[in-house]
């Protein structure tokens, strides 16, 4: 359908298979259908793709929790690579010239993240912090290695500290 995006269902099954067979320490899955359907102005398929993605994330989580090497020690960071505009036309678009598309969200679930529910940010968070947050959860310090990056998002890490800061094993 698209030049550089596959259907999320194909990607989901590949991700499930990869998790089972290769058991990576870190895995990135980039679902792209919602963005494509929004650009095409297909709100019906946009919603369907969003519902499917919710289910794919649930099934990936349940798979991880069914595998001893991941159970109770896996974190999912779920986010979008950009926001979208709003209103009758701008919901299809995003970018510097589209109002409100600078807004974004992040969901984090895992043993190091306090289950505080939905919150509105109290201080600005940016995508520049995500790499360092992932690294902190893996006992690595990305921000020290790449100072131009953002610092880890402390309040998704237990006690606001990195694992390495608490001296925990990897």
What residues line the site for Zn ion (CB under 5 A)?
35
Question: Whose Cβ is closer to Zn ion: residue 35's or residue 112's?
Answer: 35
Helix, strand or coil, per DSSP, at residue 23: coil
Question: Whose Cβ is closer to Zn ion: residue 35's or residue 140's?
Answer: 35
Total residue count of the chain as it appears in this document: 170
Sequence-distant (6+) residues with CB within 8 A of 63 are 16, 19, 20
d(C-alpha 116, C-alpha 107), whole Å: 11
CB of 169 to Zn ion, least distance (A): 40
CB of 150 to Zn ion, least distance (A): 23
The dihedrals phi and psi of 109, each to the nearest 5 degrees, come to: -135, 135
CB of 53 to Zn ion, least distance (A): 15
Question: Whose Cβ is closer to Zn ion: residue 33's or residue 35's?
Answer: 35
Question: Whose Cβ is closer to Zn ion: residue 82's or residue 125's?
Answer: 82
CB of 137 to Zn ion, least distance (A): 28
d(C-alpha 138, C-alpha 74), whole Å: 10
């Amino acid at each position: 359908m698209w030049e550089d995006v596959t259907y999320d269902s194909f990607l989901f099954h590949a991700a499930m298979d990869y998790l089972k067979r290769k058991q990576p320490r870190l895995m990135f899955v980039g679902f792209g259908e919602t963005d494509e359907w929004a650009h095409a102005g297909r709100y019906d398929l946009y919603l369907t793709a969003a519902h499917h993605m919710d289910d794919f994330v649930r099934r990936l989580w349940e798979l991880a929790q069914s595998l001893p090497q991941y159970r109770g020690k896996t974190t999912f960071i779920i986010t979008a690579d950009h926001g979208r505009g709003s209103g009758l036309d701008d919901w299809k678009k995003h970018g510097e010239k589209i109002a409100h598309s600078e807004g974004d969200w992040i969901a984090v679930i895992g043993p190091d993240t306090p289950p505080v529910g939905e919150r509105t940010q109290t201080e600005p968070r940016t995508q520049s912090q995500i790499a360092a947050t992932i690294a902190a959860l893996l006992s690595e310090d990305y921000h020290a290695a790449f100072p131009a990056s953002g610092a880890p998002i402390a309040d998704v890490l237990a006690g606001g500290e990195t694992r390495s800061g608490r001296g925990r094993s990897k």
